[in-house]
Chains A and B, each alone.
Chain A
Amino acid sequence: MVPESFYVTLSAVLFTIGVVGVIIRRNPLVIFMSIELMLNAANLALVAFGQRAGNLDGQAVVFFVMAVAAAEVAVGLAIIVAIFRIRRRLSVDDLSIMRW
């Protein structure tokens, strides 16, 4: 049995790659996918911790995270498409129209 710390370390690596992706990329779609990567890293850590705690509560939380992520992706992509319709460009550097 692989120890849980291995899974948590892998989850930390994936989370960091997601953070770096959010910072260095300019395409909002790729930034969105990096956020999905971070969510999945957190899910993996949750399952590993739940395995260590000896119950299934971690897996139940992961189920809810998946549902919320699905809702988030749908709304986020709709916002991106709506912005693209107005601006005809897709770069986060000139996206300040949602700021007050």
Chain B
Amino acid sequence: MVYVAFFLVALIATGSALGLVLRTNAIHGALFLVLNLGSIAALYLMLGAEFLAAAQVIVYAGAIMVLFVFAIMVLIPGKEETGPDPRRGVRLLAVPVGALLLLMLVFVVAVRLRGAPAPSAPAGTVTAVGRLLFTSYLFPFELTSVLLLAAMVGVLLLARRRA
């Protein structure tokens, strides 16, 4: 039963990722990415990471994708990928390169992981993750706020109309 759920979600995630890469319409790609992020949130729930599943939906599928859709609407794309591709031969190399990368990743990381028993991990509830963030990871947590502030100021500078 758990396996059926996992393979269903994995199928949705893979299919939506392929949709993002293969559809020429950027807005369709953005919606496929929302589907992909949602399915990854479901996988987080299966792994016991409740807090991350909620954060994934709020931060990624909510905030970041709204930003993407907004940028796509502003920039009116769809015209730039219709003409003939001047570098088609080079781009087709992506398929064998991608297959090679996938083989390497699967054989080096995933296959060697098999076998050893997994210790029982604590559930990633808001309490547990929050306690960790505010004790062991307090300094990086505070640095994150500085990073977000710097990004905000930088974006304001970039988006300002030149007088």
Interface residues of A (CB under 8 A from B): 1-10, 12-21, 23-27, 29-30, 32-34, 36-37, 40, 43-45, 47-48, 50-57, 59-60, 62-64, 66-75, 77-82, 84, 89-91, 93
Contacts and interface: CB of A to CB of B under 8 A. Distances in A.
3 closest A-B pairs (Cβ-Cβ)?
A: A71-B151, A54-B119, A12-B105
Contacts of B63: 70
Given A8-B109, A55-B122, A64 B159 contact: no
A2 to B, nearest CB: 5
B97 interface: yes
A47 B98 CA distance: 24
Main secondary structure of the interface of A (DSSP, over half): helix
B163 interface: no
A21 to B, nearest CB: 4
B76 to A, nearest CB: 9
Q: Which of A27, A56, A80 has the most CB of B within 10 A?
A: A56
Nearest to A13: B14
Interface in B136-155: 136-137, 140-141, 144, 147-148, 150-152, 154-155
B59 A4 contact: no
A26 B150 CA distance: 29
Contact of B113 (A14, A52, A75, A81): A52
Contact of A59 (B18, B81, B124): B124
Contact of A20 (B21, B60, B75): B21
Contacts of A26: 80-81, 85
Main secondary structure of the interface of B (DSSP, over half): helix
A66 to B, nearest CB: 5
B13 A91 contact: no
Contact of A14 (B6, B14, B46): B14
Contacts of B49: 47, 51, 59, 62
Contact of A34 (B14, B20, B48): B20
A81 B71 contact: yes
14 contacts: A3-B114, A5-B113, A12-B109, A16-B105, A19-B94, A20-B97, A26-B85, A56-B132, A62-B52, A64-B137, A66-B55, A70-B64, A78-B158, A81-B159
A63 B94 contact: no
Contacts of B148: 67, 70-71
